[in-house]
Structure 1
Amino acid sequence: MDSVPPVASELFIRSRESAQIVRLRRLASIEEDAARLQLSADAGLDTATSLPGVPPGLASSTVAQFSLPDGNLLLWVDPDTRACTVFRVGAPGEPLEPVTRVGGTAQDEFIQDAAFSPCGAFLVTWSRPHERLADGNLRIWRCATGEAVRAFPHRHHSATAFPYVQWTADERYALHAVANALDVYDGSKLEQPPLLRIAIPGLVQFAVAPEAVAAAVGALDLAYVATFVPESANGAPAVIQVWAIGSSSAIRSRHGEVDGLPASGKEARCAVPVASRRVYRAQHVEFYWSPKVYGSGSSPSLVIRTSHDYDVHGRSYYGESSAHFLYLGNKSEQSREPARDPASMPEGPIHDIGWSPTGREFVIVHGTTPARATLFHGTGTATFDFGTGPRNRVSWSPHGRFLALAGFGSMSGNVQIWDRNKKKLIGQFQAECTTHWQWSPCSRFFLVGVCYPRMKVDNGFRIFKYDGTLVYERKMPTTQLYQVEWRARVPEQFPDRPVSPQVLTSMRKMAEQMTANTDASQKGNGSVASAVAGNQTRPSGAYIPPHLRRQVIENGVSMPPLKLHEHEAPQSLVSGPFLTKSQRKNRKKKEREARQQQQDIPSV
């Protein structure tokens, strides 16, 4: 059988002069050849594919985006005509094939943002409201033909909330929020009236769960959507609800008898709430659905980050935030799972939340600086503490093997790479002024970029190996880098490779060095404590700056280094290995059999 050629990692680079898709041809062999780690500016680039019609003064607001999850399509909004063109992306060096072109006419000349549907069948565009767009400025098009399917009026635009129409991953359903309601459409027939209208007074935000969740629980006609109603001016708390959408039999088989279901024996499509929570001090919300359901018979989970613009305790100028957890298991499942007290979620501020692509766990970065990072099982139980450090972001590799904890934005750009399976630190590096970061589809490289307009100087990007080794760097001192990202690929196209033996050796050396530093710090603190206990007083003399005091020896006592923060070391939060539901069931069975055998033994 012929061997399948490996899929190469490709970068999309968009600057003021050009936009290109380039292949880094040597990244696959860098791990075996340490001499190739230092690459020149173009030594690692293969043939580039340029986008046609890119003007010299390319506007920074121009949109370019790959389709998920395979990256075979690329949409491009022309900065002059404001037309959105969809290209089919081939091999590197091959010209892009135009698929369709929408907008750019007198009525659609103000396209500002665009996005693909999950399967790439539809295109969503938003234009500035205008009297000529009487039917609506939020439009949905078919990618294959460029046909306008439906239009909705939508005045205000937010890049973080776009697109305003959300599909399930298989495009079975499409959802769009209107005033005090949520409309559910047939995902492939948006030109028809909505199938359902869910009345939710005060609705401001919603998020559809990944379709992998519904498929894993054995109900293909079952989907979940989370909705948010902020707190009111009269003091009523915010309301977070999770709705199950599908046939009544599918909902009943999964969640039992729920309020709002039709009578038994009557089959109908409906939407009913299966979980809810009332939260105070919540003006804004971010939903984090589990990407998959881990284990057979399990249910999806949802982590919510709520925030408020004003901190009543006066601890922060930036308001306050908190984390909440919802588990969508049925009553029998919830009785078998460990208790998930809402108070078990960490206290704010909540900096970032990240689910593992496997769906079995998630990480929350929380607390005041230096922030703490905690690993939680998919059922909401804390299992590991990564300690404290200068961090505010978390990023999982596509295979879920590696985890990056970083401090970007106002922080110094320190990045730590952890091996999730071994729970060991395997590398760290500095990436100052980073505005964009992303794991490669093969989970072996980490991209950091300094892009315009967030940073107007020192534009460029760097690529690090998972152990923190720099393998590629490109600086752009004379131009502006608008966008750099990996071309989307399906992670299953790449093998899930473990840590190489060379990295394991460096891991052991790093652990020994950290242990030595900890012992030295404890020894220094102990000597100071003994000096204080012996009533030894410091002699008066000239003032010594804090950063030089460690070099001064007074009364035979070496002054410890001055530290602004005492960082805490990582530690496990479980007494033994964490057991899944099936493992706990087998353990209880063995214990029951052991007790039965003891009862059968006659007494002497």
Structure 2
Amino acid sequence: MEDLQIAYRSVKEIGLLTGPPQVQDVAGFDKPQGMLRAMKYSPDGRLFAWASNDAVHILDVAKNQMVQVLPRAGVVELDFSPQGTYLLTWERFVKPPEGPLPKNTLIWATATGEQLGAFTRKLQSSWTFQWSYNEQYCAILATNEVHFFDPTRLDRGVHLRLQLEGVSTFAFSPGRSPAVAVFVPARKSQPGHVRLYAVGQFRQPLAQKTFFKADTAQLIWNSLGTNLLVLCSTDMDSTGKSYYGETNLYYLTITGNFDCHVVLDKEGPIHDVAWNPDPDAKEFAVVYGYMPAKAALFDRRANRIHDFGTAPRNFVQFNPQGRLVAIAGFGNLTGQTDIWDLKTRTKLVTLDCSNSTTCAWAPSGRHLMTATLSPRLRVDNGIKVWHHTGSLLFHRPIHELYQTTWRPLPVQRFPDRSALSPPPRGITVESKTPTRPAVAAGAYRPPHARGTPTPASFRRDDENQRANGGATSASPAVTAAPPVYKAGTQARYIPGAAPPPGAGSTPGENAISNRLRTVTRQLKQIETLKQRQNEGATLEPEQIVKVQKEANLRAELQTLKSSKNQA
């Protein structure tokens, strides 16, 4: 098999594709068919696992040989330890009428297929364990504690406990000397705080920082495990400017000799944050501010060292070598993706990746994969592979595509070159069916008003420009909501334009009020369903679909409120 590889999971099959320059089905791989609920590469790229109705299969990728078939039915989530020594499986939690709770999270030895441990984990959103890089420890969050286990002695129970009242989030460092960051949210008059500990030495933190306005947090380590970014957010915005609350970014070093609040020069939410994976770079990028957002590069002292400009963007990702960076606008935005060369600080190309719901660099660092996935979008599902110069190398439409990923490979196999590779020649793009061109979303139209001319005050700039024969009429900027950071995809919402200040009541305004009441009622129903789910209840399929619409509804609610307030 080729080194570079792509795996995908659709409603009908799981497939493997060879990596660029010629992307095609892997020869000799017998595509699994039927109800396939999960797939996963091991982080070292050595193994590939998938779950069918009645078993979990583990494949040696390089040899294209089956390593294990675990006779376990009902598995819907898979995860590997960092070195691929252990495989974790999760089945949906169903509370029995009486008796002990079921053990629905299992840990297996990939070499032997032996089941090593079993745990009860109710929620799909937080079912898996975190691991130290060397696999010495695995850990899960418990009430007011973090539990650390020795994976070679899981039968002996908890190995270490980090006790901290109110702890809600933790993250292992990726370094070889394991450290752990823990976050406690702000409560009443008490500020929130982050503490960094060496694993097993919990009496005194290595570093810590306190801050207000912190209900939730993302803990983002750099590749060496020496520096930490803390992206904090609140449920409510005290200024009333954003329905999604406030966001702030903080920076800490593991030695405790430096910490700060990262100062951003544009008001609005923080959309995305990423470290440069090059250990020598010690820099990170941030996309922030009301749309059009700003993107900037910061050094290891949180000083802004380069501006990437202002554009409708909400996503940033470095290639594995840290030479290139992709800055894109997904979700409600148009999908345009800028690729920058950090060595020369120049923009190489802007890609048109309309309708994309996921984006990832290849281990080679020279190719970018975008995909449109279900159920986020149910049309135009498929995979595209681009060269960093902008050439589209591959496009395959796939009906009801649910998942796609590159095979992980060590970055040492693909060292950075002094000069970037030129555009490939003689590549024929596979495209079985033409895709529809992307159509920019207009202002929200209530059902009864659809099909009628859009009032001038509700048009976007580009719509007014067409209507006025090229003259641009001003309209308020659309503010994008912060992304939902847990599924790997960006939140999507319907952008809307507000009527000009001082305008009288119109049928459009009445429609906005009606829609506002409807969306508010639906969100209350979703909160009730989520509470039932957290208590262990099993939701019906249509109820699960309703819960999945929460991000879209909250974004629409923000837009509707903005329109109503400016009416």
Q: Report how far residue 355 of structure 1 moved.
A: 0.8
Maintained 8 Å contact 1:465/1:471: yes
**Are 2:332 and 1:376 aligned?**
no
Whole-angstrom distance in 2 between the partners of 1:474 and 1:53:
18
**Are 2:416 and 1:496 aligned?**
yes
Q: 2:190 aligns with which of 224, 232, 236?
A: 236
Query: What is the one-letter code of the residue matched to 1:286?
Result: Q
Describe the shift of the 1:129–1:550 C-alpha distance in structure 2 as closer, same or farther (beyond 3 A): closer
Q: Report how far residue 562 of structure 1 moved.
A: 5.7
114-123 or 137-146: bigger deviation: 137-146
Maintained 8 Å contact 2:105/2:127: no
Whole-angstrom distance in 2 between the partners of 1:115 and 1:155:
16
Q: Which residue of 2 aligns with 1:320?
A: 246
Matched residue of 1:189: which SS?
Answer: helix
**Are 2:180 and 1:225 aligned?**
yes
Q: Which residue of 2 aligns with 1:11?
A: 6
Q: 1:470 aligns with which of 378, 392, 397?
A: 392
Describe the shift of the 1:194–1:473 C-alpha distance in structure 2 as closer, same or farther (beyond 3 A): same
Q: 1:418 aligns with which of 340, 343, 365?
A: 340
Q: 1:363 aligns with which of 285, 308, 312?
A: 285
Describe the shift of the 1:394–1:231 C-alpha distance in structure 2 as closer, same or farther (beyond 3 A): same
400-409 or 305-314: bigger deviation: 305-314
Maintained 8 Å contact 1:224/1:242: yes
Whole-angstrom distance in 1 between the partners of 2:475 and 2:417:
39
Q: 1:116 aligns with which of 65, 72, 80?
A: 80
Q: Map 1:340-489 to 2 at 5 A.
A: 341-342=260-261, 344=263, 348-359=268-279, 360-476=282-398, 479-489=399-409
Maintained 8 Å contact 1:22/1:49: no
Q: Report how far residue 111 of structure 1 moved.
A: 2.5
Matched residue of 1:172: which SS?
Answer: coil
Q: 2:15 aligns with which of 20, 38, 46?
A: 20
Q: Report how far residue 138 of structure 1 moved.
A: 2.4
Whole-angstrom distance in 1 between the partners of 2:272 and 2:397:
29
Q: Which residue of 1 aligns with 2:33?
A: 54
Q: Report how far residue 314 of structure 1 moved.
A: 1.7
Matched residue of 1:13: which SS?
Answer: strand
**Are 2:134 and 1:170 aligned?**
yes
**Are 2:166 and 1:202 aligned?**
yes
Q: Report how far residue 54 of structure 1 moved.
A: 1.6
Q: 2:48 aligns with which of 67, 71, 74?
A: 74
Maintained 8 Å contact 1:203/1:228: yes
Q: 1:103 aligns with which of 67, 72, 80?
A: 72
Describe the shift of the 1:357–1:341 C-alpha distance in structure 2 as closer, same or farther (beyond 3 A): closer
Maintained 8 Å contact 1:102/1:146: no
Maintained 8 Å contact 2:147/2:158: yes
Which string of whole-angstrom CA distances, capped at 9 and with x for unpartnered residues, describes residues 258-297 of structure 1? xxxxxxxxxxx6553122222222222111101126xxxx
Query: What is the one-letter code of the residue matched to 1:124?
Result: L
Q: Structure 2 unaligned runs (5+)?
A: 424-462, 478-567
Q: 1:86 aligns with which of 35, 55, 58?
A: 58
Query: What is the one-letter code of the residue matched to 2:121?
Result: H
Q: Report how far residue 226 of structure 1 moved.
A: 1.0
Q: Report how far residue 153 of structure 1 moved.
A: 2.4
Q: Which residue of 2 aligns with 1:580?
A: none
Q: Map 1:238-387 to 2 at 5 A.
A: 238-246=192-200, 272-292=204-224, 300-331=226-257, 334=258, 341-342=260-261, 344=263, 348-359=268-279, 360-387=282-309
Matched residue of 2:166: which SS?
Answer: coil
Matched residue of 2:239: which SS?
Answer: coil
Whole-angstrom distance in 2 between the partners of 1:436 and 1:502:
25
Maintained 8 Å contact 1:354/1:364: yes
Maintained 8 Å contact 1:196/1:270: no
Describe the shift of the 1:464–1:367 C-alpha distance in structure 2 as closer, same or farther (beyond 3 A): same
Q: Report how far residue 51 of structure 1 moved.
A: 4.5
Q: Which residue of 2 aligns with 1:138?
A: 105
Maintained 8 Å contact 2:262/2:302: no
Q: Which residue of 1 aligns with 2:456?
A: none
Query: What is the one-letter code of the residue matched to 2:17?
Result: V
Whole-angstrom distance in 2 between the partners of 1:194 and 1:147:
20
Q: Report how far residue 466 of structure 1 moved.
A: 0.5
Q: Report how far residue 565 of structure 1 moved.
A: 9.0
Maintained 8 Å contact 2:249/2:262: no
Describe the shift of the 1:53–1:13 C-alpha distance in structure 2 as closer, same or farther (beyond 3 A): closer
Whole-angstrom distance in 1 between the partners of 2:26 and 2:276:
34
Whole-angstrom distance in 2 between the partners of 1:192 and 1:122:
17
Maintained 8 Å contact 2:208/2:256: no
Q: Report how far residue 549 of structure 1 moved.
A: 10
Describe the shift of the 1:207–1:345 C-alpha distance in structure 2 as closer, same or farther (beyond 3 A): farther
Provide the alpha-carbon RMSD of the alignment.
Answer: 2.7
Q: Which residue of 2 aligns with 1:148?
A: 115
Maintained 8 Å contact 1:427/1:467: yes
Q: Report how far residue 24 of structure 1 moved.
A: 4.1
Maintained 8 Å contact 1:99/1:143: yes
Which string of whole-angstrom CA distances, capped at 9 and with x for unpartnered residues, describes residues 390-428 of structure 1? 100001111111000000011000100000111110011
Describe the shift of the 1:271–1:87 C-alpha distance in structure 2 as closer, same or farther (beyond 3 A): farther
Maintained 8 Å contact 1:292/1:358: no
TM-score, normalised relative to structure 2:
0.70
Maintained 8 Å contact 1:403/1:417: yes
Q: Which residue of 2 aligns with 1:526?
A: none
Q: Which residue of 2 aligns with 1:541?
A: none
Whole-angstrom distance in 2 between the partners of 1:548 and 1:486:
41
Query: What is the one-letter code of the residue matched to 2:206?
Result: V
Q: Report how far residue 551 of structure 1 moved.
A: 7.4
Q: Report how far residue 180 of structure 1 moved.
A: 1.2
Query: What is the one-letter code of the residue matched to 2:274?
Result: G
Q: What is the aligned-residue identity percentage? A: 28
452-461 or 187-196: bigger deviation: 187-196
TM-score, normalised relative to structure 1:
0.66
